[in-house]
Chain A
């Protein structure tokens, strides 16, 4: 047993309102640069829908992820090493820009520069690739909120499959439809096929926290990772010729802050914490013959952080005590393995993804409510989950390789929680038969409710800081051991003099206070250094917003 730590995320899909705040803040932080205008490390897709890039899940076409050879061994779906090398001159299964979308901007200058005339000036869309006028026909979330579903709904690979199996069951008629949002980031897989496909070996998994990164200096632009990743979460920067991907906001998590997408999530539905897993068994687990068993195999890799044997083995691997403590408090471990309500996305790709999803009960609840039933009574909900085959089948394709039993177990738990808590909230006697029906105790149910519904900041994000004894290894705190935490940022000649202060050190203390209070505090305590990376929505910091007279103030006004 080789114990390793892995940062993981869980998203509670019931709470996602599809506002795209996460995508926008992520873009502002990481991909607002030339060459990756079309790139969304975080995207939110409406399901049913084609996703981004279009139909990325259709591995018949894109050849992402792993398959098993006849002998049961794991093999990249796009072919073995030799075949891959032969295809580096022209990758036959690379998504085209049209499969993402052609990025554009608007000719805003025209609004101001146009001469006086009877017609209103318009800002025409200009391609960010060619600079020409263009017609906008697709984007990262063109089919948002089922837009165009009657014509294009069948292009969702899962709809296609479920329909094939059950003759036209998913209807896009208004009254029969269901929908939910699926926010996606890189899965920071345990068995990443992007990495396996990289000829240069530029993609690596960090030993300390399992974050998967592309070494920008080693990447040579062979474009194999984009094919390798079944989730299409590695992108090509067409200006620099290098692959880029979600970084799990490593500069933030190294100092204990959640990722930008999680921090800014309006629905507060993202959880970040540690998993401990057995690295020696990853390949074996990913080689599980029946795709429907992959979910169990993946759960099996996750080690119980309370098990003394695991703790001893983790210590032997040099995992620090505070990390072990964080692993014990990990919300993601609780949701994935303790309560078993979080499921991996498309486990059949065999990459062992580490972003998990609590499937949405809302399609079922909405249908019940629309039909005039009490959508909070356990009996109704249980019955509906079993009767409404379509949402369940769809979710099963998404999360369990088609195993509907697992998905409906999870939905039963969520339904039970809903009706059990209604009794508590209304001050009625609790019905202990409800949790019992899903194999839980009333206490467990309440704990799960706290985690899922109350979702306190401290409980959602349990992120151990990277270690000071490894200070020299830290990217963000490279030479910061001598920074005094209370007196950050001032040097002999005033604030802007001396060595630059690492952003995270400077703001960590201030941020921690701000994020754990409910006060709207003046932004002054951020020393005028608020930017989108660290702004938490409190106050109106100068430097982000224009002044009333429309001019941007220098951000160091004090």
Chain B
């Protein structure tokens, strides 16, 4: 069981993440978009979206710092165990809470603003569940760590994920998964890790892909882009692409035949 969870599943997730991204990048450029709903509603988005996105950026940085960089390197840089922990907890909590509040606002908006809700696909809903799950569980692990930190020092030992989760994480990449270490971590970490893997596995197939094309190159490209005509088949020569859907609203198409008795 442990081998399956911590020795096999991670590789599944990675294969899905990389393979799925490559596949989607090659076959679905047109679907590769943020699918922004700002046109429908802007006020809530102005608060929720930056809160969520900047929060999650810090969360990502935090994960990299905690999981990828070995504890010994950190100490060598002069960041001791306690200093790291205080930093990680403070920044992690702020970023995590920011992210959670942000996504809460965004989901509230999605649910209550009619047009935004209508533009929400099943795919989006699944994605939201997993994403929120990962964030909430992440915050729970942080909370546990805080509780442990304030409790006896004996228990604090076992929550130092940099001695358990992180080595396991790194061991994945040298193809020698350290299953035993991971099997021994507290259950909250395990669940967070599992949901995280699920998130990465579905990532390429959701709208989250837009994160992979974060337009950093904008900082360096010239303002004006000249380009020659494309060698592409003519629009009339191919089957119509997505984006050429007839005008109408979904609810009206799927609505049952109008009840003839309705009179004002």
Contacts and interface: CB of A to CB of B under 8 A. Distances in A.
Contacts of B210: 220-221
A218 B29 contact: yes
Contact of B36 (A97, A241, A466): A241
Given A89-B50, A238-B40, A130 B234 contact: no
Contacts of B50: 89-90
Which residue among B38, B232, B261 has the maximum number of chain A CB atoms within 10 Å of its CB?
Answer: B38
A137 interface: no
Given A33-B243, A129-B40, A478-B232, A201 B226 contact: no
Interface string B45-65: 110011011100000000000
A96 to B, nearest CB: 6
A218 B215 CA distance: 11
B40 A220 contact: no
Contacts of A223: 36, 38
Nearest to B212: A220
A128 B217 contact: no
Given A216-B243, A238-B39, A117 B250 contact: no
Interface stretch (B6-14, B114-122, B158-166, B180-188): B114-122
B142 to A, nearest CB: 24
A108 to B, nearest CB: 11
B249 A129 contact: yes
Interface stretch (A147-155, A159-167, A260-268, A468-476): A468-476
A410 interface: no
B236 A503 contact: yes
B244 interface: yes
B256 interface: no
A303 interface: no
B228 interface: yes
A436 interface: no
B247 interface: yes
Interface string A196-214: 1011110111111000000
Contacts of A240: 30, 33, 242-243
A131 interface: yes
Interface string B230-256: 111111110000111111111110000
A131 B261 CA distance: 21
Contacts of A218: 29
B125 interface: no
A504 interface: yes
A105 to B, nearest CB: 7
B225 A195 contact: yes
B115 A130 contact: yes
A89 B234 CA distance: 35
A478 B248 CA distance: 33
Interface in A204-244: 204-208, 216-223, 236-242
B35 A94 contact: no
B118 A130 contact: yes
A430 interface: no
> Chain A contact residues (Cβ within 8 angstroms of B): what range?
35 or more
A115 interface: yes
Contacts of A478: 231-234, 237
Interface string A116-139: 010100000011111110000000
Interface residues of B, number: 63
B54 A89 contact: yes
Contacts of A109: 258
Interface of B is mostly: loop
Contacts of A424: none
A201 to B, nearest CB: 5
A222 B34 contact: yes
A127 B249 contact: yes
B21 to A, nearest CB: 14
B84 interface: no
A114 B264 CA distance: 11
Interface in A393-440: none
A204 B35 contact: no
A477 interface: yes
A89 B30 contact: no
B237 A502 contact: yes
Interface stretch (A44-52, A80-88, A174-182, A333-341): A80-88
B243 A237 contact: yes
A97 B36 CA distance: 13
Contacts of B54: 89
Contacts of A96: 39, 42
Nearest to A254: B229
19 contacts: A34-B248, A81-B218, A89-B50, A89-B52, A90-B46, A97-B39, A119-B263, A130-B114, A130-B118, A131-B250, A195-B223, A203-B225, A220-B215, A241-B35, A473-B228, A475-B235, A503-B234, A503-B236, A504-B236
